[in-house]
Amino acid sequence: MLLGIVKRESFYDICTMQHSINNHVKKHISATENDLVLFNNVLNEVTIAKGAYLLQPGHHVTEEFFVVKGCLKAYYMDNRGNKHIIQFAVENWWVGDFDAFYNEGTSSIYIEAVEDSQLLSIESSKLNKVFEKAPIFERYFRILVTEAFISQRKRILSAQEKNTQERYVEFCTSYSNIENRVANYDIANYLGVSPENLSRVRQKLKIS
């Protein structure tokens, strides 16, 4: 598809969107009003319809996205043609092809909207300028990646330590209410189990 992406929002929406990202920034670093304005000025507003792609393999990656409203999934296809969900992104998450973004390369993943979504995007070149003028944002992104790193590590260890049922419960808890927003077969995929198995686990949970 890749249709359905529209830049520029109404004044009201822009205010809401900036409010959302500024809150997020303030939660992580102590930025001055000047810093925030500088940062806000390089952001673009993006809306995307359910089912549309924000990113597809082969595309040159120049942007990362912040989810103001909505839900997306990031996945890739392996050599055998199997899909693997890397991440779901909901409100107040950054999403993108990190690898390609930092290495200024070509995407190897799909990012697809699971719901109609509102996003903010930042371009690599503009972000680097922000880093120069307001190095505090270097810290912001370092903290974000560190947090993501830690939560990802938990995902690895959880997969080794826990059975499917425990992991499904953990998933629903940490991604609050997500089981009502995305398909079960996508959750199964994310957890690395078959949809049939997840279905049976969900049955058992209903009973107990």
Partner DNA sequence: TCTCCTAATTGATCCATATCAATTAATTTC
Partner DNA sequence: GAAATTAATTGATATGGATCAATTAGGAGA
The strand pairing partners of 87, in sequence order, are 74
Number of residues that bind DNA (CB under 7 A): 16
Does 38 contact a second copy by CB under 8 A?
no
∠ CA 185-87-200, rounded to 5° = 25
**For the window 136-175, what string marks contact with DNA as x by the rule CB under 7 A?**
---------------------------xx-----------
Binding residue for a second copy, selected from 30, 82, 177, 208, defined by CB under 8 A: 82
Six-digit token pair at 187?
Answer: 């959750």
Q: What's the rounded Cα separation, in Å, for the pair 156 and 194?
A: 18
**Rounded (10°) angle between helices 33-41 and 124-133:** 160
Does 155 contact a second copy by CB under 8 A?
yes
Binding residue for a second copy, selected from 102, 125, 129, 194, defined by CB under 8 A: 102
DSSP, collapsed to helix, strand or coil, labels residue 56 as coil
User: Among the candidate windows 10-18, 44-52, 118-126, 136-144, which touches a second copy by CB under 8 A?
Assistant: 136-144
Does 183 contact DNA by CB under 7 A?
yes
Nearer to a second copy, 14 or 86 (CB): 86
Task: Residue 45: name the closest of 71, 67, 28 by CA.
Answer: 67
The answer to whether the Cα torsion of 5, 143, 127, 20 is positive or negative is positive
The site partner of 202 among DNA, a second copy, none (C-beta below 5 to 8 Å per kind) is: DNA
Nearer to a second copy, 28 or 202 (CB): 28
Contact 198, 164 (CB under 8 A): yes
The answer to whether the Cα torsion of 48, 107, 97, 19 is positive or negative is negative
Nearer to DNA, 150 or 207 (CB): 207
Interface ranges with a second copy (CB under 8 A) = 76, 78, 80, 82, 84, 86, 98-99, 102, 131, 135, 138-139, 141-143, 145-146, 148-150, 152-153, 155-157, 159-161, 192
